[in-house]
Amino acid sequence: MESLFDFDFEPVVISDEEVEEMWSLLQLEMKKEGNYFTERKFIEKLGLQKYQESFVKKGYMTLRHDQYSAVRSHLIYHTLDEILDEFEEKVERFLENPSSDYRGSASFLLELPCDMAPTIDESQKIKGEAYELMKPFSKRIAIELGVDYYTKNILTSDYKMNCFSDKAYKTHFLPFFYDLVIPITDYDEMYDLLKNHSFVVGRNDHFMYGTTPYLKVEKPMFSDLDIAVLCQTTDKKIINHILRRVGKSMGGRSNINDNNFSGLLFAPTFSYQDYVNSLTMDDSVKIFDDIERLNRLHGKKEVA
């Protein structure tokens, strides 16, 4: 029968070589997932808990509130070539086995090409360059997949954001959107329209009661595959399905100063002059008060 006297209570000595070997192993595992806050996951997966204090002493990790975190300057980041190679390999792999699951489909990769490695560089300085280099490949695959792939693999998907599904959007936004996109068959022209423009569809408070009566400006976030499909179809069922799936950027331009309409597309039924004419004195006071509130929030000078 074992007793306390049978145990060796001498502290376990971990050599520097062993620490370096285990840290290298952890570095490579975290790199595979883009160094995206994966320290705890891989420490547990690889059974490296006993090395955590050694990692801290070496300066590879920090300990705060019982949470170990990797020091970013000691991580291994993707090179530009690695980012491009991984992106192309993953897309090609998905193309071999198309999935109806939205987040398991090529369309998801085409939507977020520059996020294949979330922290690809400590300063993220090559992320924009990677995205620009991915665009031609992404465009080619999106056009190749097109409406046929979308109809077979995504049209049946239950994934929906429903940002453009309520009655107000169906009344004010959908007819406007149909008229803009259905005549376009060229990918680059559609890309410019949807990536570089926002849509003015009315007043904010006409869509959501009680909000400040700014212009209602919408910026849907379309994937490259969405853009390719919109070039290849005039079927409003498919167009509506795309709009139910896409998200939209939050914030944006609520008011327009100095009549700067750059990048804005007004619905034919609602011009800027219509907006100005619709504003009452009470509306103007609400806008003035809200601008002052935002200026105070952001430390800017008050409205004169």
Q: How many CA atoms lie within 13 A of 296 on its CB side?
A: 6
pLDDT: is 259 or 17 the higher one? Answer: 17
Number of domains, the chain: 3
Among residues 153, 181, 212, the one where a domain terminates is: 153
Considering the domain architecture, whether residues 39 and 65 belong to the same structural domain is answered as yes
pLDDT category of residue 118 using cuts at 50, 70 and 90: very low
Considering the domain architecture, whether residues 173 and 259 belong to the same structural domain is answered as yes
What percent of the chain has a predicted confidence (pLDDT) above 90?
Answer: 23
pLDDT at 104: 53
Among residues 74, 90, 105, the one where a domain terminates is: 74
Structure tokens at 191: 């890309």
pLDDT at 300 over 80: no
pLDDT at 165: 66
**Torsion sign (Cα): 85, 103, 34, 115:** positive
Considering the domain architecture, whether residues 257 and 184 belong to the same structural domain is answered as yes
Lowest-pLDDT range of 123-127, 170-174, 187-191, 274-278: 123-127
Considering the domain architecture, whether residues 93 and 64 belong to the same structural domain is answered as no
pLDDT category of residue 249 using cuts at 50, 70 and 90: confident
Considering the domain architecture, whether residues 229 and 172 belong to the same structural domain is answered as yes
Q: Are 223 and 205 in contact (CB under 8 A)?
A: no
Does any domain span residue 302?
A: no
Q: What's the domain range around 8?
A: 4-74
Does any domain span residue 287?
A: no
Does any domain span residue 147?
A: yes
Considering the domain architecture, whether residues 128 and 91 belong to the same structural domain is answered as yes
Considering the domain architecture, whether residues 68 and 88 belong to the same structural domain is answered as no
Q: What is the 3-state secondary structure (H, E, C) of the chain?
A: CCCHHHCCCCCCCCCHHHHHHHHHHHHHHHHHCCCCCCHHHHHHHHCCHHHHHHHHHHCCEEEECCEEEECHHHCCCCCHHHHHHHHHHHHHHHHHCCCCCHHHCHHHHHHCHHHCCCCCCCCCCCHHHHHHHHHHHHHHHHHHHHHHHHHHHCCCCCCCCCCCCCHHHHHHCHHHHHHHHCCCCCHHHHHHHHHCCEEEEEEHHHHCCCCCCCEEEECEECCHHHHHHHHHCCCHHHHHHHHHHCEECCCCCCCCCCCCCCCEEECCCCCHHHHHHHCCHHHHHHHHHHHHHHHHHCCCCCCC
Tens of pLDDT, residue by residue over 131-149, are 788 888 889 888 988 999 8
Mean per-residue pLDDT, 1-25: 74
- Mean pLDDT estimate for the chain: 80
Does any domain span residue 285?
A: no
Does any domain span residue 243?
A: yes
Mean per-residue pLDDT, 73-87: 83
pLDDT at 247: 81
